[in-house]
Chain A
Amino acid sequence: MRKNIYLFLCCLFCISIATAQESTEIPEKEEIKKTRKNALAVSGGIPGYGFEYARVLNQHFSLRIGYNTLSVENYEIQDFEIDGQNTDIIANVDYSGIDFFIEYLPFKKSSFKLVFGAGYITDLLVTGNITFDEEQQIGDITLTKEDFGDLTLNADWSGTFAPYVGFGFGRAVPKRRLGLALEIGTYYANTPDVTLTATRLLTPTEEENRDTIQDGFESFKFIPNIKLRLAYSF
């Protein structure tokens, strides 16, 4: 489902880009005032909340330096299917990173932008604790999911330097005092270090997937960045 939404959004932006120039054209008189070349911004979305400093370099380019962070604790996903089994997942995410971006405005009269740069991911650890949500009767004993044990999956991207590319609408330093922007992009990070631990009856799962679990995350070099950004220019 999430994949479909992502695709839909991307296609929507592809279609709209042709008309974006017209709809976002700004009168000449409202172009950036030479005295307002800086902005401070706050943002929210994936992967987290952040604040940012931006500076106009010239008519088409701006520099952005920002810090993002996110902490998700005990987010519950129910009925997730793994190998044909229904599972419950408790997910935890810890993220913090520093962005160094160049924002490029290809059209003079449009706020459509392309964003390039890199992020230093100081901390990105995704942990999933997986339990099977069925009880089983063994004689007079009911085995709960605790008796079956659990799987703990860690994917760790921490300490990596990740190139970034993105696009969106809204200038790094808005023409007005306040400006809203939307940005979609992705970091290109290293493949995460993935570890799997299993307990109790699921213990053999750890060894069984030792070789494949890292391969499964091979394509997870791309870390999405979708956020709304509110900037204050000065």
Chain B
Amino acid sequence: MKKNNTYKKWLSVIAICTITFIAVISCENPLKDFTVAIDTAVFQKNATITIFDPTNPTNLDGTGKVEIELLGDDAGKIVSDGGSKTNFPVVDGVLQLAVNPANAGENINFVVKVSGDDYLTTTIPVNINENDTLVTIAANMVNINDTADGINLMEDDKSLNNGTLEEDFVVATDNSGDNEATEVTIASGTEFKDANGNLIKGAGDLKVRVVNFGSQDDESLNSFPGGFSPAAIELENGEIDTEGSFSTAGFTSIDMFVGNTEVKEFSEPITIKMDVDSEVVNPNTGEKIKKGDILPVWSYSKDDGKWKYHCDTTVEEEDGQLFTVCTTTHLSWYNLDYWARGCTSRRRFDVNVVAPGVSSSSGYRLVTALVFAGTNQSVSYKSNRVQNFFNGRSFGYYRTPNANLQFVVYDGTSRYNKGNEIYRSNTFNGCDSNQITINLEEFRSSLPPQPVNVNINFSGNCDGNIIKPSSYLYMKTDYTYRGRTYTYWRYAGYIRSGRVTIYNVFLNREYEFKTYYKGVEYKHNYTFTSNTINIENFDIPAELCNSL
């Protein structure tokens, strides 16, 4: 009996010890090997705006070449990528903005005003809607010291007598060769007013700058402020139209200063005569524009980025040159345009790609454009895109204009290096057609040698913490203009949580990359040796770690 009790005691002790042991091991912290990995994408909704000088992109290298001001009702909801509400640095022509997280759920509209000593002030309307995480926009700047093809600039001064012009003053851009010119005539006796409507007296001489933008050159058309499909315009009857597009016959920018004070209005109307290229197609007739056609003029405020109906003009002809004349009492950009009502914004026009044997990873990255048939003008700045062509690929355009359009493919790799045209679709109406299909076989023989797309998976190390960065990535790229080759930083993709695919690169060739964080640039050279690159535990520089 005693032996039996001893056995039972041992059994009990063993049971208790077993449970105790279990308790000990099961109390181990299950998160002891847990690693916190952080994405550096502080902001959910971002915009990257590439400001490009087409005559020499390196003119914008560095910082401080242009100044940024944000305009519009939602401007206060925008911050720089460093979180500043007041300082928006442009580094090497790149402006990075983000929506304040407090407003991340809103549809944001604002205008970026870009100005600089060597550049014509321009504005870029930006929309970041509720679903956007990244909006990328590229806009051309007009270098007043070296204008691009199709852009002619003239500056002239005139002394004033107590703020009053004592004789007629005419400023005209070059009209030699194929150039279309703008001529501004200010009548004797005209007085000048500032932004508050006050007469400007005793401030100095009158300085007038007139810039004419032709309707046939890409560089000129790419300088059209905000692109040809603005978010909204004010029609003749005061209504706001959000579903149309411009088809331009040329545009002009006029700036005046008395001393250092910018002129906004005049006591007497000034006269603006704008030449019209005879190749412009009147979308109302489908024929080339001619004497007697009605051509509306629209004004654009560089202070708020809004287009507004100004007047109708009648096309005139003198010595074989078509032109229009209008008058105005205020300064802005003036645009000779046909306004074509677009399709509903909810409708998408799709381009479907057939490319047998071509997968997304081996796709061809090609420059595309949606253009007005006849004029070859881009429908909007968003319609010039680099697309990856592979079998089954589909991409689309919202709010296509109710006009005859064509889809064009080039063999280049960026909008600034379009290369040669290798495909042009048949003409279709932007509202009648919901889709077109492109067979890559039709122009496969014209495609350039196929580079590869490289998938990168990157993680860095900051004091033991794993960092999966999210940032814009730029790659140094050649650009040739007027026979001279420049290099500039081309947007190569967005690194999202350490992952990015870089398109159209060649293996075993060294490339130079750059990222920006809080306005500071970080460069790195890399030679790809494989289509898949894993870079793990990269030691991130201490200065960058400290700013993360």
A, B: real partners: yes
Which A residues have a C-beta under 8 Å from some C-beta of B? Answer: 2-3, 6-7, 10-11, 13-14, 17-18, 82-85, 106-107, 112, 114, 137-141, 143, 147, 155, 165-167, 184-186, 200-205, 207-209, 212-213, 215-217, 219-222, 224
Please name all residues of chain A whose beta carbon is closer than 8 Å to the beta carbon of B498 when the two chains form the complex.
204
A17 & B101 in contact (Cβ 8 Å cutoff): no
A128 nearest CB neighbor, chain B only: B31
Contacts of A112 in B (CB 8 A): 12
Are B16 and A13 in contact, with the CB atoms below 8 A?
yes
Most buried by A among B11, B35, B497, B498: B35
Give bound CA distance, A128 to B16, whole Å: 31
Residue of B nearest to A221 (CB): B26
Q: Which residues of the partner chain A approach B13 to less than 8 Å between Cβ atoms?
A: 14, 17
B84 at the interface (CB under 8 A from A): yes
Interchain residue pairs with CB less than 8 A apart (20): A2-B27, A3-B24, A14-B20, A17-B16, A107-B5, A107-B8, A112-B12, A138-B82, A139-B79, A155-B30, A201-B38, A202-B38, A203-B497, A204-B466, A204-B468, A204-B498, A209-B34, A212-B35, A222-B22, A224-B26
| Interface pair B31/A82, CB less than 8 Å apart | yes
Beyond A3-B23, A18-B9, A139-B84, is A216–B30 a contact (Cβ under 8 Å)? yes
Give the distance to chain B from A110, nearest Cβ to Cβ, in Å.
Answer: 10
**B residues in contact with A143, CB < 8 Å:** 42, 101
CB atoms of B23 and A83 under 8 A apart: no
A89 to B286 Cα, complex, angstroms: 68
Cβ-defined contact, B34 with A212, below 8 A: yes
Q: Choose one: A17, A137, A155; the contact of B12 (CB below 8 Å).
A: A17
Closest 7 CB pairs of A and B: A139-B83, A204-B468, A138-B83, A106-B8, A204-B37, A10-B20, A216-B30
Asked if A219 meets B12 with Cβ closer than 8 Å, knowing A141-B100, A204-B38, the reply is no
Assembled-state Cα–Cα distance A221/B62 (Å): 60
Number of interface residues of B (CB under 8 A): 51
- Closest Cβ of chain A to B204, distance in Å, is 38
User: In the bound complex, what is the Cα–Cα distance between A219 and B8 (angstroms)?
Assistant: 29
B18 at the interface (CB under 8 A from A): yes
* A200 CB contact (under 8 Å) in B39, B80, B464: B39
Could you say which residues of chain A place their CB within 8 Å of the CB of B38?
201-202, 204-205
Q: Please pick, from B28, B37, B82, the residue contacting A205 in the complex, using a CB distance under 8 A.
A: B37
Chain A residues near B520: list those with CB within 8 A. Answer: none
Given contacts A202-B38, A216-B30, contact A14 B16 (CB under 8 A): yes
Q: Which residues of B contact A (CB under 8 A)?
A: 5, 8-9, 11-13, 15-20, 22-42, 44, 79-80, 82-86, 100-101, 459, 464-466, 468, 497-498, 518
Q: Check B26 against A186 for contact (C-beta < 8 Å).
A: yes
Q: Could you say which of B24, B27, B518 has the most chain A C-beta atoms within 10 Å of its C-beta?
A: B27
CB pair A10–B79 under 8 Å, yes or no, is: no
Decide if B27 touches A202 in the complex (CB within 8 Å): no
Contacts of B497 in A (CB 8 A): 203-204, 207
CA distance in complex: A220, B465 (Å): 27
Chain B residue nearest in CB terms to A166: B19
Cβ-defined partner of B35 (8 Å) among A11, A83, A184, A185: A83
Tell me how far the C-beta of B372 lies from the nearest C-beta in chain A, rounded to whole angstroms: 42
Q: In angstroms, how far is the closest chain B Cβ from the Cβ of A224?
A: 7
Q: List B contacts of A141 (CB < 8 A).
A: 79, 83, 85, 100-101
Which of chain A's residues have a CB closer than 8 A to the CB of B31?
82-83, 216
The answer to whether B83 and A185 touch across the interface, beta carbons within 8 angstroms, is no
> In the complex, which of the residues B5, B18, B41, B79 contacts A140, with contact meaning CB atoms closer than 8 Å?
B79
From A139, A155, A215, contact of B80 by CB (8 A):
A139
CB-based nearest B residue for A194: B30
Q: Tell me the nearest residue of chain A to B23, going by C-beta.
A: A6
- Cβ contacts under 8 Å, B44 to chain A: 200
Q: How far is the CA of A7 from the CA of B36 in the complex (A)?
A: 31
Are A114 and B15 closer than 8 Å at their CB atoms?
Answer: yes
Question: Within 8 Å CB of B35, what residues of A?
Answer: 83, 205, 208-209, 212
Known: A140-B84, A165-B19. A202 touches B41 (CB 8 A): no
A225 nearest in chain B by CB position: B19
A141-B83, A203-B39 known; A186 and B33 CB under 8 Å? no
| Residues from chain B with Cβ under 8 Å of A140 in the complex | 79, 83-86
B342 to chain A, nearest CB (A): 36
Chain A contacts of B33 at CB under 8 A? 212, 215-216
A197 nearest CB across to chain B (Å): 14
- Expressed in whole angstroms, the Cα–Cα distance for A106 and B14 within the complex equals 13
* Contact residue among A139, A207, A216 (Cβ-Cβ distance under 8 Å from B32): A216
Q: Which residue of A lies closest to B32 (CB)?
A: A216
Q: Provide the residues of chain A in CB contact with B82, threshold 8 Å.
A: 138-139
> Could you say which of A85, A106, A139, A220 contacts B85, with CB atoms under 8 Å apart?
A139
Q: Distance (Å) between the CB of B518 and the closest chain A CB?
A: 8
Most chain A beta-carbon contacts within 10 A, residue among B11, B16, B82, B466: B16
The listed residue (B5, B16, B26) touching A220 by CB distance below 8 A is B26
Docked Cα-Cα span, A33 to B154, in Å, equals: 117
Q: Give the nearest-CB partner of A18 in chain B.
A: B9
